[in-house]
Amino acid sequence: MKSKRVVCIIQARMGSSRFPGKMLCNLCGKPMIEHIYLRARQSKLIDDVIVATTRSYKDNTLCKILKGKNISYYRGSEEDVLKRYADLALQKKADIIVRITGDCPLIDPTLINSVIKKFVHSEYDYLSPMSKCGLIRGLDVEIFSMEALKKADKLARDKASREHVTLYMYKNPNMFKIGSFKVPTKLKSFKIRLCVDEIEDYKLINKIYTCLYKKNQIIDIHDVLKLLRNNPELLEINKNIIQNKV
């Protein structure tokens, strides 16, 4: 039996309203988007990793940087992110899509592998460990089938569902088989946020990278958590940032 092709799509653009240009913020000599890409590549269960950005002129610089680093990218609709994903996944002949956003520079390859394994051995259309269930913000990963993506792309009409790729799936559990992935206890915390939405988030991530990053090695998430436990004052840096709601 032919194994299913797993494609990781990293959603990224330069035109963030809260923190424009954050994709290229420097972390120990590399732009943030490169760290995210390299961390995703650590998963041996992923067949291909591509950055999905937009056709907007704002993303020309991002694409130039990605090209110079031999990082695969695709340019699609700026507003219709669901179509951007569907078109790219179809082009890449994906059977299973792993969705990561470009604001998670400490995404955990081990967690990604665990979610992929559960998804592959299930009949789910969509699976994700949820931040609302305690997963540290910034470790978010979603997995869904190509068939589910095509169905969502065909049926979703409202602006929110076109902008937020998986919204239509998990808001319609009668139409999609939605699985729940138990968040590992060690990765649970409502007090820690490791995503980058605003400058304060970047300041914290930059501190973490400065303390822990070693050339050509990815930072282990458990080393990050140990650093934060031993230096709780670091969490003061971005404690007042409010997460945008979908």
The answer to the question of residue 140 being in a domain is: yes
> Number of folded domains in the chain?
1
Angle in degrees, CA 111, 69, 107, rounded to 5: 15
User: Is residue 55's pLDDT more than 50?
Assistant: yes
User: Is residue 1's pLDDT more than 50?
Assistant: no
Phi, psi torsion values for 121, nearest 5 degrees = -100, 25
Alpha carbon of residue 195 to chain centroid: 9
pLDDT of residue 246: 59
The answer to the question of residue 22 being in a domain is: yes
Cα 120 to Cα 112: distance, rounded to the nearest angstrom: 12
Half-sphere CA count of 50, side-chain side, radius 13 A: 23
The answer to the question of residue 206 being in a domain is: no
pLDDT of residue 222: 97
Cα 126 to Cα 124: distance, rounded to the nearest angstrom: 5
The pLDDT tens digits of the residues spanning 225-245 come to 999 999 999 999 999 887 766
Q: Is 230 exposed, middle or buried (0-12, 13-18, 19+ CB in 10 A)?
A: exposed
Average pLDDT value for the chain: 95
The answer to the question of residue 196 being in a domain is: no
The answer to the question of residue 194 being in a domain is: no
Cα 202 to Cα 194: distance, rounded to the nearest angstrom: 9
**CATH code, domain carrying 38:** 3.90.550.10
SS (H, E, C) 12-65: CCCCCCCCCCHHHCEECCEEHHHHHHHHHHCCCCCCEEEEEEECCHHHHHHHHH
The answer to the question of residue 141 being in a domain is: yes
The answer to the question of residue 164 being in a domain is: yes
The pLDDT tens digits of the residues spanning 157-189 come to 999 999 999 999 999 999 999 998 999 999 999
**What's the average model confidence in pLDDT over 110-122?**
96
The answer to the question of residue 1 being in a domain is: no
Q: Taking the model in full, what pTM does it have?
A: 0.95
Domain residue limits at 10: 6-188
